[in-house]
Amino acid sequence: MALDTRALADLAAHDDFISRHNGPRSEDVAAMLAVLGEHDFAGLLDKTIPADIRLGRELALEAPKGERETLSYLKSLAKRNKVFKSYIGMGYYDTLMPAVITRNVLENPGWYTAYTPYQPEISQGRLEALLNFQQVIIDFTGMELANASLLDEATAAAEAMALCARANKKARSCNAFFAASDLLPQTLDVLRTRAAYLGFELIIDRPERIQEHQVFGALFGYPAEQGEIHDLRALIELAHAQEAMACVSADLMSLALLEAPGRFKADVVLGNSQRFGVPMGFGGPHAAYFAVSDALKRSIPGRVIGVSRDSQGNQALRMAMQTREQHIRREKATSNICTAQALLANLAGFYAVYHGAEGITRIASRIHRLTHLLAEGLAAKGVTRVNRHYFDTLTVEGLEVEAVRGRALAAGINLRYREDRRIGISLDETTTAQDLQALFDVLLGAEHGLGVAELDRLHRDGHGLPIQALRQSEFLTHPTFKRYRSETEMLRYLKRLENKDLSLAHAMIPLGSCTMKLNATTEMIPVTWPEFADIHPFAPRDQVSGYLQLIDELSHALLEVTGYDALSMQPNSGAQGEYAGLVAIRRYQAAQDQGHRDVCLIPSSAHGTNPASAAMAQMKVVVVECDSLGNIDIDDLRAKAEQHAERLSAIMLTYPSTHGVFEARVREACEIVHAQGGQVYIDGANMNAQVGLCRPGDFGGDVSHLNLHKTFCIPHGGGGPGMGPIGVKAHLAPYLPNHAVTPLEGIEPDSHAVSAAAYGSASILPISWAYIKMMGARGLREATELAILNANYIAKRLDGHFEVLYKGESGRVAHECIIDVRPLKAISGVSEEDIAKRLIDYGFHAPTMSFPVAGTLMIEPTESESRYELDRFCDAMIAIREEISRVESGEWPRDDNPLVNAPHTQRDLSGEWSHPYSRDTACFPSAATRMAKFWPAVNRVDNVFGDRNLVCSCAPIDAYRD
């Protein structure tokens, strides 16, 4: 029988992911092009993208695969990872995520597709979850204030070092920081990188030897890397005696049994919250925590959630101290943290909510009891233990390492085999009595076995904790940690919080520069597979060949997309990528005897993380002006490049620019910098306008980061996780970050790490991998074209109602557009914030406010939004413009109208109503809202009140009484 090949092609199309990822249907595309007055895409793209940078060919990628085929190939890769029982420890532990949390948070788009809570009125759910996380950290550490997560433990340690230098007067006369030699090796690795570029001398020595040195700050491990529990009180006193600040890197689980470092007067306490229910995931993502004493509360890095009130006086949460947020402080910012680990912080917080103090104490006690039995059993057999005290980790010596390793591998067990031939064993909440039996067999040989039950009887009362450090202080006493202990209560709590938040499951989130596109279900499914989730980052390489293959394939695809030669997956966010890229440039220049080059040119329109990262790389920021069209002022660039030629290290350019335009003279800009011996850093956050059409590596970039959580579909998670891999040209490749524990090929051994794990947050890489597989070259290019079409369509529809700032030379924008609210404010008093809040009444998330230009809104629709949704959004914007006219004309007073009073809540439907507009106008301003209404949980949140009265822990019990 002859096959009809056309029929086969139709069958294949049925599983076509491309048309699922993209919003507009083909008939919409034609109509939208017609609205723009274009016949086809070619015409639009020719007007949008400069001809001299066009790729002119399809990307060399595999043909697109269907969703099912992609998952089955991914499964075959996953199967090549071996899920061994891990006793490696070193900051990563197997854990049991309660299923109610896995399904309703981690696997739930209501949680994972939300953005950073910039609009608090529609973010009260995750703000409460993050406040819970802060409370957990405050309680466990005994500190006064905690932030809502940092990227990982090692970078948190580096932030602590930088904080000490900022806050301690002694740092003016002393530039040395002390790091205990028994901190985790990856923490020391990252400290080395950061110290080098902050200009600090890093002193690494045994903790008690701090008195031999003069330092402005010190960091101690608690417990230390061999499992030892030092006398923290004594160490902190030694630090304080010389007016050094004392920082502690503490294991959260151990603090259930050990006294809180805050009780010993620590200044900063930090660490990983991973073992509170978050999978190891081959290194991440996990939320690092960071807590400080009261004196440091206004200089803490990262985001802090605080309690404020809304316009009706009701309690409302928000991000505190937003005025010191990164894009306002630029090079004076306290750190470059933008994307953090919100989703992971929420997961850890919920783990604590579900277990409460009793549950976590039970878990920690069980871990310790099993560790104690292991210690007693090994001691009985004459095995030498290196650490006197212990919580969950024993380091032993004198065993036949190769024999132990052979037995362990045969039993599916990973231990920590140290270079000094000692063996480390760390237990976790998944360890059972049977596991202990197996451990004895592996360590001692089956013929020398020990009975766990008998040991338990013999050593009933013993433990391995130092008596003076036993925990006396209470924790998790707040009602939130008592109320939701049954699964029914927990499920309803999670759902109640979820329902307060607007996510992509409700409406488009047109945040410019953030690329809130589809996070497809098929892309998300592999994240919770055990073959990806339950892998220790330091597992032997032959157990992770599935991961390595996936990373390799993804790297190759991203290199083809960007036009670079080598890639590092290590940075955990775009800003971390910027830092890693600038450090690579500095390392390269130092190797060329050009180490004196330290000037970084940055256009005035740059994202705030650019200057902040440059400052962290100890560069001097020189601002390049933009012209009235929003383009880099090439003459100013040339003048400044010449003026600083001697010391010119790099330029940081965003392309297309943060003004949303493909600048025509980008090649020339790159050439000017190269001509003066500088390197070109191209910020890849706007890659969504370029993929398949042009490549930064082709038009002059030496290095770029990619925000995989923007262009490549990793969800934003309410403010993280993210991934910011960097691509570089070959000359920079040796200077990419290496890793102390798992060294990487082709990289200089003294290129120290920028993250705790060699491949950053590896467990979310399958998302970007799957996206690229399913889209292929054609799909990726079409997505870019549609992103540009959607943005231009919005710009066109809003034209005449609002002023669209910054179009390219032929009147087109790139993948986002900026509308100027300043003229409207002048005539009506209505601000960009009022429009943002009124959009909530219409069921939308606001665009990006006042970035890159104050008084504007930046709209980025992405390719995933359908024409229906774009129209709904434009209709809302136009209706709002008409409302502004009614204020302008005096029909509604300037201080009492639906804009300044927005958003309106359900509570506005009852009680007194004295406004000059109806409740209907307030709450149901469009047909869409009359059919399905998203209610903000609170009225407009008072920012000033929250910052004046800084409260960043759970509300007192009184707030819960009626």
**Interaction site with ligand PLP (CB under 6 A):** 338-339, 513, 573-575, 607, 609, 654, 658, 683, 685, 707, 722, 724
Give Cβ neighbours of residue 873 (< 8 Å, ≥ 6 apart). 508, 510, 794, 844, 861, 865
Closest CB to ligand PLP among residues 464, 724: 724
Taking the complex as a whole, the smallest distance from the CB of residue 658 to ligand PLP amounts, in Å, to: 5
Residue of closest CB approach to ligand PLP: 574
Q: Which amino acid is at 560?
A: E
Taking the complex as a whole, the smallest distance from the CB of residue 720 to ligand PLP amounts, in Å, to: 8
Closest CB to ligand PLP among residues 515, 594: 515
Backbone dihedral region of 474: left (phi > 0), alpha (psi from -120 to 50 degrees) or beta?
A: beta
Q: What are phi and psi of 198, to 5 degrees?
A: -95, -5
Torsion, CA 451, CA 452, CA 453, CA 455, rounded to 10 = 90
Taking the complex as a whole, the smallest distance from the CB of residue 629 to ligand PLP amounts, in Å, to: 19
Q: What are phi and psi of 355, to 5 degrees?
A: -90, -35
Closest CB to ligand PLP among residues 339, 395: 339
Closest CB to ligand PLP among residues 609, 828: 609
Closest CB to ligand PLP among residues 573, 649: 573
Q: Answer yes or no: are the C-beta atoms of 291 and 138 closer than 8 Å.
A: yes
Taking the complex as a whole, the smallest distance from the CB of residue 303 to ligand PLP amounts, in Å, to: 11
Reading the block at residue 218, the tokens are 């010190």
Closest CB to ligand PLP among residues 377, 718: 718
Sign of the Cα torsion 54, 57, 59, 65 reads positive
Closest CB to ligand PLP among residues 217, 577: 577
The SS3 assignment for 290 reads strand
First to last CA, the chain: 77
Taking the complex as a whole, the smallest distance from the CB of residue 640 to ligand PLP amounts, in Å, to: 21
Taking the complex as a whole, the smallest distance from the CB of residue 710 to ligand PLP amounts, in Å, to: 6
Q: Which amino acid is at 733?
A: A
Taking the complex as a whole, the smallest distance from the CB of residue 575 to ligand PLP amounts, in Å, to: 3
Q: Answer yes or no: are the C-beta atoms of 160 and 290 closer than 8 Å.
A: yes
Closest CB to ligand PLP among residues 254, 335: 335
Q: With CA atoms as reference, report the closest residue to 568 among 404, 710, 756, 724.
A: 724
Taking the complex as a whole, the smallest distance from the CB of residue 886 to ligand PLP amounts, in Å, to: 35
Taking the complex as a whole, the smallest distance from the CB of residue 337 to ligand PLP amounts, in Å, to: 7
Closest CB to ligand PLP among residues 193, 848: 848
Closest CB to ligand PLP among residues 193, 658: 658
Q: What distance in Å separates the CA atoms of residue 481 and residue 353, rounded to the nearest whole number?
A: 5
Residue whose structure tokens are 């602590």: 160
Q: What distance in Å separates the CA atoms of residue 725 and residue 567, rounded to the nearest whole number?
A: 7
The SS3 assignment for 384 reads strand
Closest CB to ligand PLP among residues 431, 515: 515
Closest CB to ligand PLP among residues 531, 683: 683
Taking the complex as a whole, the smallest distance from the CB of residue 850 to ligand PLP amounts, in Å, to: 14
Closest CB to ligand PLP among residues 678, 717: 717
Q: Beta strand pairing status for 599-603 and 620-624?
A: parallel
Reading the block at residue 185, the tokens are 């090796």
Reading the block at residue 452, the tokens are 């766990």
The SS3 assignment for 517 reads coil
Give Cβ neighbours of residue 497 (< 8 Å, ≥ 6 apart). 124, 125, 126, 128, 129
Q: What distance in Å separates the CA atoms of residue 873 and residue 117, rounded to the nearest whole number?
A: 20
Closest CB to ligand PLP among residues 281, 302: 302
Closest CB to ligand PLP among residues 168, 341: 341
Residues in the chain: 962
Q: With CA atoms as reference, report the closest residue to 841 among 911, 914, 917.
A: 917
The SS3 assignment for 805 reads strand
Taking the complex as a whole, the smallest distance from the CB of residue 606 to ligand PLP amounts, in Å, to: 7
Taking the complex as a whole, the smallest distance from the CB of residue 688 to ligand PLP amounts, in Å, to: 10
Taking the complex as a whole, the smallest distance from the CB of residue 580 to ligand PLP amounts, in Å, to: 12
Q: What are phi and psi of 647, to 5 degrees?
A: -105, 10
Q: With CA atoms as reference, report the closest residue to 338 among 571, 546, 42.
A: 571
Residue whose structure tokens are 């798992």: 742
Q: What distance in Å separates the CA atoms of residue 59 and residue 47, rounded to the nearest whole number?
A: 21
Taking the complex as a whole, the smallest distance from the CB of residue 505 to ligand PLP amounts, in Å, to: 22
Taking the complex as a whole, the smallest distance from the CB of residue 707 to ligand PLP amounts, in Å, to: 5
The SS3 assignment for 563 reads coil
Q: With CA atoms as reference, report the closest residue to 431 among 376, 374, 360.
A: 374
Q: What distance in Å separates the CA atoms of residue 253 and residue 365, rounded to the nearest whole number?
A: 10
Q: Which amino acid is at 119?
A: Q
The SS3 assignment for 396 reads strand
Closest CB to ligand PLP among residues 69, 325: 325
Taking the complex as a whole, the smallest distance from the CB of residue 181 to ligand PLP amounts, in Å, to: 31
Q: Which amino acid is at 844?
A: F
In which order are the strands placed within the sheet that holds 856-859?
803-805, 817-820, 856-859, 848-849
Q: What distance in Å separates the CA atoms of residue 94 and residue 602, rounded to the nearest whole number?
A: 43
Q: Beta strand pairing status for 384-385 and 648-654?
A: unpaired
Taking the complex as a whole, the smallest distance from the CB of residue 746 to ligand PLP amounts, in Å, to: 26
Q: Answer yes or no: are the C-beta atoms of 726 and 696 closer than 8 Å.
A: no
Taking the complex as a whole, the smallest distance from the CB of residue 588 to ligand PLP amounts, in Å, to: 22
Q: What distance in Å separates the CA atoms of residue 466 and residue 448, rounded to the nearest whole number?
A: 30
Closest CB to ligand PLP among residues 339, 943: 339
How many CB atoms are located within 10 Å of the residue 169 CB?
Answer: 9
